[in-house]
């Protein structure tokens, strides 16, 4: 029996580690999630385009259990069904994925739904459809996603910030050096893949990114829905 998600009051958006099947093997992904959590990541997104459905679900459940003691929410990329069956906090959708309304039908009102937005128009559409947060990018050039498109730059963050009150997670080529500029442009947090996955010491690099953001003194944001069990 699938349990409904638990209520939430605040969510810390500052640093989301995107654990990607194309960047690491399955067991390495779990190890990386553990190191990122130990380094201070406040959210984890699991992206599994190279995994079978069963493998993805198994890894989602194992990641959830790994993160449970620290209370770190797990977001599943693309797959609302995996998010619900795996007991994740929610799902992140691209522009070509399920519409927000369809994902809400699967997940209910108490799970997070994020949607990618590369323009103010997409941001407005996502907010009107009932998304809980926006993923904006790629901000800078990235090699982590072949179809990511041209870099949007910091100006896009500012433009999107001006039309929405939703939390913004910026993604694409973000590291400890440029993360503060992304936050200052209006993002609530950053989503990172290669800077952590490719680091010699992922835990230390996660802590370094968190430190660069922490110096800005930003606080967690309250959102309007519940959050699934981490």
For residue 67, give both structure tokens. 């993160």
The answer for residues whose C-beta is within 8 angstroms of residue 135's C-beta and 6 or more apart is 92, 114, 115, 116, 117, 169, 170, 171, 191
Distance CA 74, CA 95 (A): 21
Query: What 3-state class would DSSP assign to 85?
Result: helix
Sign of CA dihedral 176, 218, 114, 88: positive
Distance CA 49, CA 216 (A): 34
Catalytic-role residue among 35, 84, 104, 145: 145
DSSP states of 27-74: HHHHHHHHHHHHHT-SEEEEE-TTS-HHHHHHHHHHHHHHHGGGT--E
Our measurement of the distance from residue 230's CA atom to the centroid of its chain's CA atoms, rounded to an integer in Å, reads 13
Catalytic-role residue among 14, 21, 35, 47: 47
Q: Is 145 assigned a catalytic role?
A: yes
Sign of CA dihedral 186, 191, 196, 197: negative
Q: Is 47 assigned a catalytic role?
A: yes
Catalytic-role residue among 116, 144, 208, 212: 116
Residue carrying structure tokens 């039908």: 105
Query: What 3-state class would DSSP assign to 126?
Result: helix
* Catalytic residue IDs: 47, 116, 145
């Amino acid at each position: 029996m699938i349990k409904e998600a638990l209520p939430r009051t605040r969510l810390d958006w500052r640093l989301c580690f995107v654990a990607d099947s194309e960047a690491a093997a399955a067991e390495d992904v779990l190890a990386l999630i553990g190191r990122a959590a130990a380094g201070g990541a406040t959210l984890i997104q699991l992206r599994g385009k190279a995994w079978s459905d069963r493998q993805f679900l198994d890894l989602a459940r194992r990641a959830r259990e790994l993160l449970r003691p620290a209370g770190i929410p797990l977001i599943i990329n693309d797959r609302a069904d995996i998010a619900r069956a795996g007991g994740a906090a929610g799902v992140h959708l691209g522009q070509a994925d399920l519409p927000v309304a369809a994902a809400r039908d699967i997940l209910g009102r108490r799970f997070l739904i994020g949607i990618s937005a590369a323009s103010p128009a997409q941001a407005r559409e996502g907010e009107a459809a009932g998304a809980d947060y926006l993923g904006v990018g790629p901000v800078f050039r990235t090699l982590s996603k072949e179809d990511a498109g041209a870099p949007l730059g910091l100006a896009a963050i500012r433009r999107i910030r001006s039309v929405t009150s939703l939390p913004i997670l910026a993604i694409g080529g973000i590291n400890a050096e440029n993360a503060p500029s992304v936050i200052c442009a209006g993002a609530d947090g950053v989503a990172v893949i290669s800077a952590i996955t490719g680091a010699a010491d992922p835990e230390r690099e996660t802590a370094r990114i968190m430190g660069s953001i922490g110096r800005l003194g930003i606080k967690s944001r309250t959102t309007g829905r519940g959050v699934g069990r981490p």
